[in-house]
Amino acid sequence: MIDAVKQLVTYEARDGRAYITFNRPEKKNALTEAMFDLLMSHLDRAEADDDVRVIVFRGAGGDFCTGHDLAEVGHEYGEAQLDATGKPRRPSQRARLHHDRHYIARFQRIFLSPKPTLALISGYCIGAGLYIAEGCDLSIASDNAKIGHPEQKLGLSGASYFGAWEIMAMGPRKARELLLLAELWSAQEALSAGLVNKVVPHADLTAAGEAWAERIVRLPRDGLAIGKAAAHLAYDSLRLTSQFTYGYVMHALATNVRYEKDEFNFMKAKRESGVRASSHGREAFYKPADGTDTTT
């Protein structure tokens, strides 16, 4: 079982590059908690290897990453507890804050990595997958990419881990559009908004990534380290790193939303009909009355 998990996020280092690959294509590279932990282990390994000058994130099977596996959502704060009458109790705020602080630290690690990072985005790049890409220094998208934060429809409505970065990168109006409407953007829409650096044909994505990686690995190691440290100082001066504090606090609050009768409750729907049906139900609920498909 342990060996099987290890194959879900793979690591390869060569020619000054470290490749961290999400390898769960049958689930469009949705990440479990075990996969997140493995991802952090690979990041440690890349940062400790002096021959590695750039870290490349990519997905196997045509998709980058569809975020946190929804089958685990709802259990992240521990197993349900019962009160004295036998009724389920909501997780405490302390449990929520403890988990979310640990969870967001993973994206912070990528954002503040001492080595340059590059995301190669193809297919779906949503939810936590997009947080990983946003945490990277550079991102190249293939022309078939679908990028966004549809998880905001779970009730978060703007409780983003990268809210400050998104506002800085895209401006407040586009950032609010990305989060509040929770639509999926095409690669060109993401490029126009400033969410990615470059768009290439899908067949050229690997070559485009290699070309940029090669330009980075030719730079001196100390120069790269100093450059990343300078970027960290700039982020601090702009208070962008504060997003990793307010992000986990807002997420903990958002997961404790009270739903009214006329609102879609993903957790309730998931308990009653399972992940797939509740995911489709969520999209159907938010679909405009004119039938416009907002997911593409």
The count of other CB atoms within 10 Å of the CB of residue 212 is 18
> Is residue 266 assigned to a domain?
no
CATH number, domain with residue 49: 3.90.226.10
The C-alpha atoms of residue 16 and residue 133 are separated, in whole angstroms, by 20
The Cα–Cα gap between 205 and 141 comes to 7
- The answer to the question of residue 123 being in a domain is yes
- What pLDDT band is residue 290 in, cutting at 50, 70 and 90? low
Is 284 within a domain? no
Please check whether residue 287 lies inside any domain of the structure: no
**Residue 16 and residue 53 in contact, taking contact as beta carbons nearer than 8 Å:** yes
Query: 171, 164 in Cβ contact below 8 A?
Result: no
Domain range spanning residue 88?
Answer: 2-257
Residue 280 within a domain: no
115: left (phi over 0), alpha (psi -120 to 50) or beta: beta
Within 13 A of 271's CA, how many CA atoms are on the CB side? 6
- 139-193 pLDDT, tens digit per residue, is 999 999 999 999 998 888 887 889 999 999 999 999 999 999 999 999 999 999 9
Q: Give dist(CA 44, CA 47) in Å, integer.
A: 5
Residue 291 lies in a domain: no
Instruction: Report the number of distinct structural domains present in the chain.
Output: 1
Closest CA to 208 of 187, 222, 193, 228: 187
| Tens digit of each residue's pLDDT (9 = 90 or more) over 19-40 | 999 999 999 999 999 999 999 9
Query: Residue length, the chain?
Result: 296
Contact yes or no for 183/148 (Cβ under 8 A): yes
Helices (H), 86-162: 93-111, 128-135
In a domain, 221, yes or no: yes
Residue 132, in any domain of the structure: yes
- Tell me: the pLDDT tens digits for 223-267? 999 999 999 999 999 999 999 998 889 888 888 888 888 888 877
Residue 295: pLDDT above 60? no
Q: Which two tokens stand for residue 44?
A: 């440690």
Confidence of residue 293 (pLDDT cuts 50, 70, 90): low
**Does pLDDT of 199 surpass 60?**
yes
